[in-house]
Amino acid sequence: MTYTISLVDTISVVAALMVLISFYWPVRPILTTAAISCNLAFVAFGFYLDLPLVWLLHIGLIGLHLLRFDLGGGHGTYFNRLG
């Protein structure tokens, strides 16, 4: 019995790898970009499997990441403004 990798398998693996990258990347602009890429992969995953809660959540998270990127100028300095 053989198993062929489907498109949804590939998307889910890419999304999982992007989550790992977004947790471990030390540079803020690249981390935010990785997080946005991760969310885009999960949006594709949710659309492909017709899971509206998944893609709605990650579309919202994309908005939050873009806001974070904008407020910090890509460097995470908005944390200093909050404290």
d(CA 69, CA 71): 6
pLDDT digits (tens, 9 = 90+) for 28-53: 777 788 888 889 988 998 998 899 99
pTM higher than 0.85: no
pLDDT digits (tens, 9 = 90+) for 49-68: 899 999 999 999 998 888 87
**What is the number of H-type helices and E-type strands within the chain?**
4, 0
d(CA 1, CA 80): 56
Give 79 or 11, the one with higher predicted confidence: 11
In this prediction, residue 75 carries a pLDDT of 52
In this prediction, residue 60 carries a pLDDT of 93
CA torsion 19-24-27-28 (nearest 10°) is 50
Q: How confident is the model at residue 25 (pLDDT cuts 50, 70, 90)?
A: confident
